[in-house]
Amino acid sequence: MSLKVNIDGKLFDKEDAKISVFDHGLLYGDGVFEGIRSYAGKAFKLQEHINRLWESAKAICLDIPISKAEMAQAIEETLKVNGIEEGYVRVIVTRGCGTLGLDPNRCSNPRVIVITDYISLYPDELYENGLEIITVAAQRNHPAALSPRIKSLNYLNNILAKIEGLKAGCIEALMLNHKGEVAECTGDNIFLVKAGKLLTPPNDAGILEGITRQVVIELAEEAKIEVREIPLTRHDVYVSDECFLTGTAAEVIPVVRVDSRKIGDGIPGQITRELIEKFHKLTRS
């Protein structure tokens, strides 16, 4: 059975799900999106994702043509019709069709697209043994040029960093901000463990405010692990006891080598494993 895609409230077979080539989401990356995980057929942290989508849209003066409740219903119904239990949801809102020019006022109604599918971002063995990443030259977008808090359809900054990492043999890459501080990876937030404390870059380091990142912070605080959101450098990464990444698709994944340097003992650490276990318990029980 072909998966169904929801476009403006109508379901289409995956092969027939189309938008116009004049849509400004395609022409200029003018639009916003969210990636959401589903567990047992339910979208995880759905309201938080929808709120972030609305904030991204507001930041680019894009009016989403349906209500938050209608969006939630569209997501739930698309998951249900496709029979997806453990999966991934991609919600996209484009500016809509317009002319060959940047003016958003020349666009017609925004398009709302809901895609549900299965996803496996990293192989299982990497969750057990840990990931190796590399710091790339491609910097995170300057927040004064384009706020990283906007989850826009233009992901070239991340893609260029991803290409650089892949060419170096790493499937994830660490990006620095314009100050040379640690920001985030191409698709994930980063955490360090040092002397029993959990460290992660603050929002003003040029990061996306990750939903999974916030969940992990809350899980750590519940476990009485001190969490500090502070500026970090590559030195902090190299001398850390543990390192892991968080993201909607990635969930929580250990990092054991950065720039060919062993992190801690070179194996996933105790606090990392504890937080992975707590995250699994939260999402799968």
Active site amino acids: 151
How far apart are the C-alpha atoms of 110 and 65, rounded to whole Å? 7
Q: Count the alpha carbons within 13 Å of 43 in the hemisphere toward its beta carbon.
A: 28
| Residues contacting 251, CB < 8 A, separation 6+ | 37, 212, 276, 279, 283
Collapse the DSSP code of 227 into the 3-class scheme (helix H, G, I; strand E, B; otherwise coil) and give the result: strand
Cα separations in angstroms, 140 against 31, 91, 164, 171 = 19, 23, 13, 17
Distance CA 236, CA 52 (A): 30
CA 3 to chain centre: 23
User: Which residue from 245, 183, 187, 236 is spatially nearest to 216, judged by alpha carbons?
Assistant: 245
